[in-house]
Each structure stands twice: as C-alpha cells, then as structure tokens.
Amino acid sequence: MVRLISDFDGVVVDLSERYYRVYRWRLTQVAAPEQTLSPLTKEEFWALKRRKTSQADIGLRSGLREDQLPEFKRLRDDHVHRLENMVHDRLIEGSLEALTTAQSLGWEVMTVTMRRYSELDKILQLHPVLQDIFPGDRRFCLPDSTDRNQDFYQKPLLMGESLARLRPKETTWMVGDTEADIRSAQSHNIPVIAVLSGIRDRQLLAAHNPDFIVENLWEAVQLIREQVAS
C-alpha cells in the first residue's frame, strides 16, 4: 500500500487571502494620519511572500517608514495565525479531488503540518469533508503550547514522531510546499514532491532538491501513480 504524507497549508488549503487581509489591516494600524501608502496588490504581495521577501522590505515597498517596521512585523506575528483570521483559508482547486482519488486507490492518506492543534481543528470545522480524509489518527500537528518559529528544524522532528507511531510502509511519498517539507522527507529517506500552489516559488524549492516539482496536489497524486506503476 502507498502512504501519502501531505503537508496541509499550501498543499490542501490556500493561505494567500488570509495573509493578504492581515497585511492590509496592518498597514492601517501602523500608518500615521494622512500618511500616503502604496499597498501592494494581492498578486504582488503573494509573489514577494513566495520569494521569502522580508517583512521590512514589504513594509518599505508599501510606503512605511523605517521606524514603523518593527510594529508592522509584530502585528504580523501576533495576528496572521489567529483563529478568527482562518475563515479566509480556502481549499486549493483540485486538492480535495486529489485526496479522494488517493483514497479510492487504497492509499493511506495522512497530514503532517506545522499548524497547532486548535489551528488544524479550526480549518477542519470549516471544511468538514477533510475530517473524513484525515481521521484523528492520521493528523499530526503541534500542541497549542508550541512556540512555532523554526519550521526548518521542527518539521523533521514532527515527521519522525509521526512515522514512529505508524507501521512501516514499502512505498511512502511526501508532498509539500516549503523547504521544511523537503528537508523533513529527505531526513527520513522519503521521496518528496514539491508543489507550486503554496508559499514558495520554483526557484526556492529547486534549491533544496526535491525529487519532483509540480503545480499542485492533483498533479502530485498522478505522478505518484505513474511512479508506483512503473
């Protein structure tokens, strides 16, 4: 049986609207009265995020002053992951079909995500169909008390803890959208497919040498089918 390990954010759900709304709100909170700003469009903002552009650079491009940047960043850190903002997360087109196809093929489907428990529970409440795809024993996330600030180092540890609870499988694949996902798979000798539907662009993903890069989870599932059949 094939085991499909999927990251959640950027693979199953799209975070761009949440991040963009919080960005626009932060500008209104930081700007001085009568200050002229130049807010980025959503497309411009998300392209910068996918290139790992710093909060300082995004703030300056938007018309903020240097002295306003620390508060601009603080508001991001305090608000972007708040549960009330997660209502803006949306399923990525084709992700649900990809997961149900994997299940119909008899694959074991699970998610390993850097969301905290309450954050994962929130999105599952908003999209109940995902609760059946990822039952409780196939959801691996962080405790609510976890300080999440080092994904590149924390995600491989979470992956190891997750795999330790499961029976070994001859064929296991990882699908993710960040360098942390790629490193997690590589550290456990799991082939990894990077997708372009998330928060990193092709150039950044390619620098970490995933086995494949495809557009989205649907293409990843089709690729795994081909690899397993060959």
Rounded to whole angstroms, how far apart are CA atoms 127 and 139?
15
Domain end position, chosen among 41, 61, 87: 87
Rounded to whole angstroms, how far apart are CA atoms 108 and 171?
10
pLDDT tens, 127-155? 999 999 999 999 999 999 888 777 888 99
Supply the range of the domain harboring residue 60.
16-87
Same domain, 59 and 95: no
pLDDT tens, 178-213? 999 999 999 999 999 999 999 999 999 999 999 999
Same domain, 69 and 95: no
pLDDT averages per 10-residue partition of the chain, 230 residues: 96 98 98 96 98 98 98 97 96 97 96 96 94 95 85 90 88 97 96 98 98 98 95
Same domain, 25 and 7: no
In this prediction, residue 148 carries a pLDDT of 74
pTM over 0.85: yes
Are 176 and 182 contacting, i.e. CB atoms less than 8 angstroms apart?
yes
From residue 202, how far is each of 38, 99, 224 by CA, in Å?
27, 23, 20
CATH number of the CATH domain containing 171: 3.40.50.1000
Same domain, 106 and 79: no
Same domain, 39 and 142: no
Domain end position, chosen among 41, 58, 87: 87
Rounded to whole angstroms, how far apart are CA atoms 220 and 216?
6
Domain end position, chosen among 62, 87, 112: 87
In this prediction, residue 202 carries a pLDDT of 98
From residue 162, how far is each of 10, 111, 126, 157, 167 by CA, in Å?
20, 10, 25, 9, 10
21 contacts: CB under 8 Å, gap ≥ 6: 85, 88
Structural domains of the chain, count: 2
Same domain, 114 and 139: yes
Same domain, 8 and 106: yes
Rounded to whole angstroms, how far apart are CA atoms 18 and 31?
20
Please provide the average confidence, as pLDDT, over all residues in the chain.
96
